[in-house]
Amino acid sequence: MIEIRVFSESDGKISGFSVTGHSGTAERGQDIVCAGVSSLTQTALLGIMEYLHREVDYDVASGKLLVKLRCVPDDLTEAILQSMLLGLMEIQKLSPEAVRILK
C-alpha cells in the first residue's frame, strides 16, 4: 500500500508531505497507481523548486519521497500542493486498497 502523509501548519497550509510504499496492484514498471502517485508528487516538488524557486528539503528513494518546505507556505505553494492533493484523493477514491492519505 502507498501511504501519503500531509504535513500542515497551524493555519492549515501544507508545509510538506511524505509518500512511502508500493501499491502492489501490478508488476513493477507496469503499475498505473504507482505511476500516478509518483507523477503528481514529483511534479509538485519540481513546480515548487523550479517554477516558484522555493527552497525545499527532500529525500527520494525507491518507494519513498519526503518533501518539506524550508519557507513558510504561501498562496503559491498552497496552490501547487492542494492541486497535488486533489489528484491523490482521486487516485485514493479509485484505488482505496492501494492508497491511503493521512492528514
- The DSSP call for residue 25 is S
Per-residue pLDDT of the chain (103 residues; tens, 9 = 90+): 999 999 999 999 999 999 999 887 666 667 899 999 999 999 999 999 999 999 999 999 988 999 999 999 999 999 999 999 999 999 999 999 999 999 8
20-59 CB burial, b ≥16 within 10 A, e <16: ebbbebeeeeebebbebbbebbbebbebbeeeeebebeee
The architecture in CATH of the region 2-102 reads 2-Layer Sandwich (3.30)
Distances from the Cα of 59 to the Cα of 4, 13, 32, 64, 94, angstroms: 14, 21, 22, 8, 27
Please give the helix or strand (H or E) that residue 43 lies within, else none. helix 32-46
